[in-house]
Amino acid sequence: MLDTIIKNGLIATESGVLPAGQSIGISDGKISAIGYEIPEGPETKVIDALGAYITPGGVDSHVHLAQRNAPTGDNWETGTRSAVAGGTTTVLAFASQTKEMGSLFPVLEDYHNKSREQCYCDYGFHFILTNPTEKILNEELPAIAKYEGITSVKLYMTYELYKLSDRQLLETMLACQSLGLTTMIHAENSDIIEFLIQGLERNGHTDPFFHAIAGPKIAEDEASYRAIRLAELMGAPVLLVHVSSDGAIKHIRDAQTRLLPIHAETCPHYLFLLSERLRAHEHDDFHGAKSVCSPPLRHHLEDLEGLWNGIANDTFTVFSSDHAPTKYDHPRGKKAGIINGIPKFSKIPKGIPGIETRLSLLFSESEGCLPTSQARLSLERFVQLTSGNPARLYGLTSKGAIMPGLDADLVIWHPQNQGERIISQDNLHHDVDYTPFEGMRVRNWPRFTILRGEVVWNADENRVTGVKGFGKYLKRDNGRVLVGKLGRQPAGMIEGERDLWRPKTVVQ
Ligand code: DUC
Ligand code: ZN
Ligand code: ZN
Ligand code: ZN
């Protein structure tokens, strides 16, 4: 018998909105039926979604929670509480190796300890590799993929404490390719950024705004291109994270046209915010630190347009928050960037919060809220970018679609033309003291968030109704390549050329 039935909603899938009048039946946390006349029992709970869209629960595949290097801001409890209040039912956050750690197992244990029984939504880990030793690549990653279901890694091309050499990128991409793992890349040219920081500081330009000058689009373009070519040589599928520049988009699009498996992600702040946010506020010179993220916000409206085009035209595979929560008014938060009373932008912790506002901001610009002619993206694209694609790309086989057999993770929006909200720190559930989206109007907000059949956010009651610890750790399968083809040879290679240098243990 059904536990819950959701009636009268408009069920949005990746291939369109289902004909009206159908219901979703839920039993044991799974979607058990979709159709017109699903019989309900006496105990079945009925939710009326009349006039409202229903989308799959959000999958936010780029989130930072209680990372070792981030002393303030959200832990797993507060971060996932904020997630469900904004319609997200699954998060993938980072477990970060530090350079002196020669094994990933203590890292894993540490992050399990921090997250176990703390979460309001389901969750998994990506590894950040800062020291990819042979032992890690050849022994630990295969074991961790198999037994822990961690099937993706993130690599950095910048930051002293994180960055890998091109040689290390090649080795890691190759190992991941052979295991069927997805490699995520933070692509910015480290030397360009360091050079510019030094020059800016020498000339006394140390206010938060100059962060946007120290990380120009060229630094991202160059590193993105390099990452793509390294991946091409290895035949490895990669995802470029938090893409913010039109030059990078061009390289990605070009690679995709050549059928390379190059995926791309962008984030709300790059679609909505400009570098002017980094400037001093009339009452607070350091206010711009709230919008310091890497890559930095860009300068011009055309920059935003370029990203919206990538959203609409399929260049982007996923839309994630890059929720990187750092308190503003805290000596180890953003204000760590004030040294002896003087602002120093290079010392400001990078990143901004956005786990709760991600879905509403994008939904607001979609056909879910606007006529097709005015919408930035279709409802189908919304579903792909916010849940279907991240679920497939990262091997979350029970998530990402409204389909019988999958977890009953759903967002029921307010009926159309209702549910408008002004985003305000006062209404958010994170443990950060600001939102960079303060004052922005969204056209709708999740009315109910449902995780495995349970209502975990109820906007009518204006409260998180889920329970801490209900969120489960997700072991993932290998992800699927969503663009391009595996095994493509770079133009000009001879047949079998890779086999001449590939280790014999690596299977194609
Ligand atoms: N990279 C991220 O992925 N998030 C925040 C800051 C950064 O550099
Ligand atoms: Zn990054
Ligand atoms: Zn003011
Ligand atoms: Zn990030």
- As for the ipTM of the complex, it is 0.91
- What value does the mean pLDDT take over residues 451-480? 98
**Two tokens at 154?**
């993130």
93 Cα–ligand 4 center, Å: 9
CA 109 from chain centre, in angstroms, equals 23
Q: Which amino acid residue places its CA nearest to atom 7 of ligand 1?
A: 294
- What value does the mean pLDDT take over residues 1-20? 96
Q: What is the pLDDT of residue 359?
A: 99
Q: What is the pLDDT of residue 508?
A: 46
Residue 261, pLDDT > 80, answer yes
The atom of ligand 1 lying closest to the CA of 62 is 3
Among 51-65, 271-285, 292-306, name the one with the lowest average pLDDT.
271-285
- What value does the mean pLDDT take over residues 327-345? 96
Site to substitute for ligand 1 among 94, 153, 186, 355, most atoms within 8 A of C-beta: 186
What would the DSSP string read from start to end of 177-237?
HHHTPEEEEE---HHHHHHHHHHHHHTT--SGGGHHHHS-HHHHHHHHHHHHHHHHHHT--
Q: What is the pLDDT of residue 323?
A: 98
The atom of ligand 1 lying closest to the CA of 94 is 3
Q: What integer best gives the mean pLDDT of the chain? A: 96
- What value does the mean pLDDT take over residues 416-430? 97
Better-scored residue on pLDDT, 381 or 495 = 381
- What value does the mean pLDDT take over residues 201-226? 98
Q: 473 pairs with which residues across the strands?
A: 123
Better-scored residue on pLDDT, 282 or 278 = 278
Q: Which amino acid residue places its CA nearest to atom 5 of ligand 1?
A: 351
Give the ligand at the shortest distance from the Cα of 350: 1
DSSP 497: H
The atom of ligand 1 lying closest to the CA of 324 is 5
The atom of ligand 1 lying closest to the CA of 64 is 4
Cβ count within 10 A of residue 98: 13
What residues does ligand 1 touch, defined as CB less than 6 Å away?
186, 241-242, 293-294, 322, 324, 350-351
What would the DSSP string read from start to end of 417-465?
T---EE--GGG--SSSS--TTTT-EES--EEEEEETTEEEEETTTTEE-
Question: How far is the C-alpha of 377 from the C-alpha of 249, rounded, in Å?
Answer: 17
438 Cα–ligand 3 center, Å: 13
What would the DSSP string read from start to end of 112-124?
HHHHTTT-SSEEE
- What value does the mean pLDDT take over residues 226-230? 98
Q: What is the pLDDT of residues 181-194, one digit of tens each?
A: 999 999 999 999 99
503 Cα–ligand 3 center, Å: 60
DSSP 478: P
Question: How far is the C-alpha of 266 from the C-alpha of 270, rounded, in Å?
Answer: 7
Q: What is the pLDDT of residues 29-69, one digit of tens each?
A: 999 999 999 999 999 999 999 999 999 999 999 999 999 87
Residue 330, pLDDT > 90, answer yes
Residue 71, pLDDT > 90, answer no
Residue 112, pLDDT > 80, answer yes
> Which strands sit side by side in the sheet containing 88-96, from one edge to the other?
58-63, 88-96, 122-128, 152-156, 182-186, 238-240, 262-266, 318-319
242 Cα–ligand 1 center, Å: 8
Question: How far is the C-alpha of 28 from the C-alpha of 398, rounded, in Å?
Answer: 13
124 Cβ contact partners less than 8 Å away, ≥ 6 residues apart = 90, 91, 92, 93, 149, 150, 394, 396, 473, 474, 475, 476
443 Cα–ligand 2 center, Å: 29
Q: How many residues does the chain have?
A: 508
Phi, psi of 39 (to 5 degrees): -70, 135
Residue 104, pLDDT > 60, answer yes
